[in-house]
Chain A
Amino acid sequence: MADVLKRIPVREQDAKERATNFEEVCYGYNKEEAMEEAARCLNCKNAKCIEGCPVSINIPGFISQVKEGNIEEAYKVIGESSALPAICGRVCPQESQCECKCIRGIKGDPVSIGKLERFVADYALENDIKPVKAEKTNGHKVAVIGSGPSGLTCAGDLAKLGYEVTVFEALHELGGVLVYGIPEFRLPKHKVVKKEIEKVKELGVKFETNVVIGKSTTIDQLMEEEDFEAVFIGSGAGLPMFMGIPGETANGVFSANEYLTRSNLMKAFDDSYDTPIVAGKKVAVVGGGNVAMDAARTALRLGAEVHIVYRRSEAELPARVEEVHHAKEEGVIFDLLTNPKEILVDDNGWVKGMKVIKMELGEPDASGRRRPVEVPGSEYEIELDTVIMSLGTSPNPLIASTTKGLETNRRKCIVAEEENGQTSKAAVFAGGDAVTGAATVILAMGAGKAGAKGIHELLSK
């Protein structure tokens, strides 16, 4: 019998091996492993883990089904609360959500809730278990803008209730950040994302790609000319920020969004696709979040020596622990307490290096983290040919600026009620990163659910 304090380890691709390919890092549990891990769950009456999950999945409920080997039943339990479990099981920051509340975690390892969720969802994808469709439509037309997790969830929930939903997506592929941002080696596009989207299609949701709301048409026109009775905005926070330091428009300086979009959405790493990418020999990624880790690990796989340049210390890295750990294992070098001052450019307009300065941690700032301050006189230069800026993103103003009466806040985020997604404009709802600023997949999903509820309340009156 295994030590109940320890979780069943999950098999992963060897670090050296995976640093050179785009295959998924984590293999996930098989059925035996999953059942064994499920047996560690105490099936708590007052399950704290549920409080940690933004969409309140009945965690002991699904895990006890896994324990018995009833995977299909487990999938149904998850399906009551989550539309995209194969995705959340992979990319949720479980360690700071469901798993950090798990009773098992007091003395030993918490139950691997995320990995179990992923196993159940993958099983459902492989065995083609279908979600339950509405018996007939109710004749109400709803438009959803954006096909990221918030839009997909909202659309799926409404379709289950019988609404006629059309999702409008600006890009040529569906999935939002799930396809253009998060890399293949963390979230397989064909095996997972596409299939989860297929499930939403099976519920009867229609999708129209290549429609940029605010340009190809507007929200007001959708409602006035195309008879949509309500609109949900799930347009994300896709606008990249730059530092505003000298040299930032040099060749070889990219936003993480551009770098990841070229690699993920346009598949530039695959020679049979036409879009080029500058792989780089020595790359600095500026920033310390999930996006920075993804960009760094992508550059590594394209063959570069990669440095993460982050102005605070390791403890403050906003990225998930698992991602930092994986990045280190693969050989990404961390230059912590270091901040760029200037990008150095050669005569042809290409990056040749970066001037950086050492930092130290001072008094805590508004976020409660200790504020980094420059160490005077500690500037030095590093040689580089590529810089990837990963400083965060903000919502694209395109929709707000073309929709009459839609209120936004100082940070350009759309203002919406948390419990039902209602915005300042009648019959227009919003949720996800467009409202909160860059956050997480599961929070976006939660907001999509809330929006669906709000729309249903409005239209079923």
Chain B
Amino acid sequence: MYKILKAEKLADKIYLMDVEAPRVAKHCEPGQFVIVKMDEKGERIPLTICDYDREAGTITIVFQEIGASTMKMSKMIAGDYFRDFIGPLGRPSDFVEEDLETLKNKKMLFVAGGVGAAPVYPQVKWLKEHGVEVDVIVGSKTKDMLILEKKMNEVAGNYYPCTDDGTYGHAGMVTTKIEKLVEEGNKYDVCIAIGPMIMMKFTCLLTKKLEIPTIVSMNPIMVDGTGMCGACRVIVGGEVKFACVDGPEFDGHLVDFDNAMKRQQMYRTEEGRAILKVQEGDTHHGGCGNCGGDN
């Protein structure tokens, strides 16, 4: 059993929790994820590690309520327990292994969409702690949906919030902000984009044009998260990869997003679609701050 030490609501349908999981906290690195299972009958839900405290033995997760399981999870409060909490899973971000001097000479741009700000945060924080300053764009539908703003601002070099509706920061989608930064003369050696699939897809289309190598974090449907089932298959450079062990981060210019997006819909039942419709009206996805269109 894994105790929830803190549970708070960050924005509409977005929640943060600190969970006691000493083994995970001791060994995790930025880029990795956990799988949680609420109770005996629950699903195994993959969630990115958003922060960790090795000393206290805790892991921070941030999740968005999008379906039956995450809805149940949003009702959990401090003092409750997860039955299972497995990790760290997946490979750490590449930069964790890279030479620090080379890293310091690189100009990095992070692009987060919606709840994607959560997985971006530990990476930016890790870099800051190692003396690397990076630029961060965070997009959301509207001002109230922007999460982790203060924390992100503390660790980012330049922090650029964007809102689709223009209520805060740059008005428009994250892709328009990238274009703007580049037009203003910024040169980036690498871009790391994390958020809804559709946002990562359009970001990659743009950065390919701009010739900025781009890494994305894939979030396909998973079961075990250890390489045992193949549910998490993604096509990268024409080859089939298992996101849970070969990823979740991949070269975004090689990922087949159309296939990935279709696979993500596999269990989208009529009922599930109905829930989404009620919850999100015609905005239909988690407010990635990018597409404004249908996925």
CB <8 Å contact, A172 and B83: yes
Given the complex of chains A and B, what is the CA–CA distance between A215 and B23 in angstroms?
Answer: 10
A276 partner residues in chain B, CB cutoff 8 A: 267, 269
CB <8 Å contact, A249 and B228: no
CB <8 Å contact, A209 and B228: no
Chain A, Cβ-Cβ closest to B239: A244
Q: How many residues of B contact A (CB 8 A)?
A: 38
CB <8 Å contact, A257 and B228: yes
Q: Which of B123-131, B192-200, B257-265 contacts A (4 or more CB under 8 A)?
A: B257-265
The one of B27, B86, B229, B265 in contact with A210, judged by C-beta atoms closer than 8 angstroms, is B86
A171 partner residues in chain B, CB cutoff 8 A: 224, 226
A396 partner residues in chain B, CB cutoff 8 A: 226-228
Interface centre among B23, B235, B267 (most CB of A within 10 A): B23
A217 in contact (CB, < 8 A):
yes
CB <8 Å contact, B226 and A266: no
A46 in contact (CB, < 8 A):
no
Question: Shortest Cβ distance from B291 into chain A, in angstroms?
Answer: 19
B230 in contact (CB, < 8 A):
yes
CB <8 Å contact, B227 and A261: no
Given the complex of chains A and B, what is the CA–CA distance between A172 and B45 in angstroms?
Answer: 13
Given the complex of chains A and B, what is the CA–CA distance between A320 and B207 in angstroms?
Answer: 54
CB <8 Å contact, B240 and A242: yes
B69 partner residues in chain A, CB cutoff 8 A: 274
A161 in contact (CB, < 8 A):
no
A132 partner residues in chain B, CB cutoff 8 A: none
B259 partner residues in chain A, CB cutoff 8 A: 249, 349
Chain A, Cβ-Cβ closest to B222: A258
Given contacts A242-B240, A274-B68, A278-B266, whether A258 and B231 have CB atoms under 8 Å apart is yes
Chain B, Cβ-Cβ closest to A210: B86
Question: Shortest Cβ distance from B21 into chain A, in angstroms?
Answer: 9
CB <8 Å contact, A242 and B230: yes
* Interface hits, A206-225 → B, CB 8 Å: 209-212, 215-217
* Interface hits, A271-285 → B, CB 8 Å: 272-276, 278
Question: Shortest Cβ distance from B197 into chain A, in angstroms?
Answer: 13
Given contacts A266-B43, A266-B44, whether A261 and B263 have CB atoms under 8 Å apart is no
CB <8 Å contact, A266 and B227: no
A201 in contact (CB, < 8 A):
no
CB <8 Å contact, A212 and B226: yes
A267 partner residues in chain B, CB cutoff 8 A: 41
Question: Shortest Cβ distance from A208 into chain B, in angstroms?
Answer: 9
Given contacts A172-B37, A266-B223, A274-B41, whether A255 and B230 have CB atoms under 8 Å apart is yes
CB <8 Å contact, A211 and B23: yes
Given the complex of chains A and B, what is the CA–CA distance between A240 and B245 in angstroms?
Answer: 13
Given the complex of chains A and B, what is the CA–CA distance between A252 and B266 in angstroms?
Answer: 8
B65 in contact (CB, < 8 A):
no
B84 partner residues in chain A, CB cutoff 8 A: 172, 209-210
Given the complex of chains A and B, what is the CA–CA distance between A212 and B245 in angstroms?
Answer: 12
Chain A, Cβ-Cβ closest to B233: A249
The one of A180, A216, A240, A255 in contact with B27, judged by C-beta atoms closer than 8 angstroms, is A216
Given the complex of chains A and B, what is the CA–CA distance between A273 and B72 in angstroms?
Answer: 13
A238 in contact (CB, < 8 A):
yes
B166 partner residues in chain A, CB cutoff 8 A: none
B110 in contact (CB, < 8 A):
no
A249 partner residues in chain B, CB cutoff 8 A: 233-235, 240, 259, 263
A210 partner residues in chain B, CB cutoff 8 A: 84-86
* Interface hits, A306-322 → B, CB 8 Å: none
Question: Shortest Cβ distance from A221 into chain B, in angstroms?
Answer: 8
CB <8 Å contact, A215 and B230: no
CB <8 Å contact, B43 and A348: no
A99 in contact (CB, < 8 A):
no
B27 partner residues in chain A, CB cutoff 8 A: 215-217
Question: Shortest Cβ distance from B243 into chain A, in angstroms?
Answer: 12
B88 in contact (CB, < 8 A):
yes
B134 in contact (CB, < 8 A):
no
A216 partner residues in chain B, CB cutoff 8 A: 23-24, 27, 86-88
Given the complex of chains A and B, what is the CA–CA distance between A289 and B235 in angstroms?
Answer: 28
Residue interface mask B198-225, A partner, CB < 8 A = 1: 0000000000000000000000000110
CB <8 Å contact, B230 and A240: yes
B109 partner residues in chain A, CB cutoff 8 A: none
A273 partner residues in chain B, CB cutoff 8 A: 41
CB <8 Å contact, B42 and A274: yes
Residue interface mask B56-85, A partner, CB < 8 A = 1: 000000000000110000000000000111
Given the complex of chains A and B, what is the CA–CA distance between A398 and B89 in angstroms?
Answer: 11
A333 in contact (CB, < 8 A):
no
A217 partner residues in chain B, CB cutoff 8 A: 23, 26-27
Which B residues are within 8 Å of any A CB, using their own CB? 23-24, 26-27, 37, 41-44, 68-69, 83-89, 223-224, 226-231, 233-235, 240, 245, 259, 262-263, 265-267, 269
Known pairs A212-B89, A257-B229, A398-B226 / 15 extra A-B pairs, C-beta < 8 Å: A170-B226, A172-B44, A180-B228, A211-B23, A212-B86, A215-B89, A216-B88, A238-B228, A244-B240, A252-B266, A255-B230, A258-B231, A261-B228, A349-B263, A398-B227
Between A and B, 7 residue pairs with Cβ closer than 8 Å are A172-B37, A210-B85, A215-B27, A248-B240, A249-B240, A258-B230, A274-B41
- Top 5 A-B residue pairs of the complex, sorted by shortest distance between their CB atoms: A349-B262, A258-B229, A255-B230, A172-B84, A238-B228
